[in-house]
């Protein structure tokens, strides 16, 4: 079955989108990151999150698997790409990292996810086929 990526640069509203999809459309989602919501069952229920078990996720039958990622595109599956102002995303990511690295290093992409611009360019949502860009 085809699936749909829910992609964004970190701290850009991906979990917020997942919450909207759950509450408005009853669509559950998962994440490529195990324990993405830190095992908080209350938050998992609120977001509509399905946690991985043994590296796989079971979606309800006849539903479109929605999968959160911040990684570079792995294939050409349909995608909803959420973009937030890069400055706000970087400051939020810096806070998420506990301010343990200088803000300049976050902006310069000296971490796993690279720069905001690199992420956007790799996904290239304005021209990527089967991609909905949400700003």
CA 52 vs. chain centroid, Å, equals 15
Q: Are 83 and 12 in contact (CB under 8 A)?
A: yes
For residue range 54-80, what is the model confidence (pLDDT) as tens digits?
777 888 888 899 999 999 998 999 999
The reported pLDDT for the residue numbered 74 is: 87
109 CB-side CA count, 13 A: 10
Predicted TM-score (pTM) of this structure: 0.92
For residue range 29-43, what is the model confidence (pLDDT) as tens digits?
999 999 999 999 999
Query: Residue 94: pLDDT band by 50, 70, 90 thresholds?
Result: very high
């Amino acid at each position: 079955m085809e699936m749909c990526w829910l992609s964004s640069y970190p701290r850009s509203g991906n979990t917020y989108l997942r919450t909207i999809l759950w509450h408005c459309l009853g669509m559950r989602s998962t994440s490529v990151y195990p324990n993405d919501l830190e095992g908080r069952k209350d938050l998992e229920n609120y977001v509509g999150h399905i946690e991985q078990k043994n590296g796989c996720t079971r979606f309800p039958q006849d539903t479109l698997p929605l999968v959160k990622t911040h990684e570079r595109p792995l294939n050409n599956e349909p995608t909803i790409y959420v973009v937030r102002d890069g400055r706000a995303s970087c400051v939020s990511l810096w806070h998420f990292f506990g301010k343990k690295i200088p803000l300049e290093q976050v902006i310069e992409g000296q971490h796993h996810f690279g720069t905001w611009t690199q992420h956007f360019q790799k996904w290239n949502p304005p021209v990527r086929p089967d991609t909905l860009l949400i700003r």
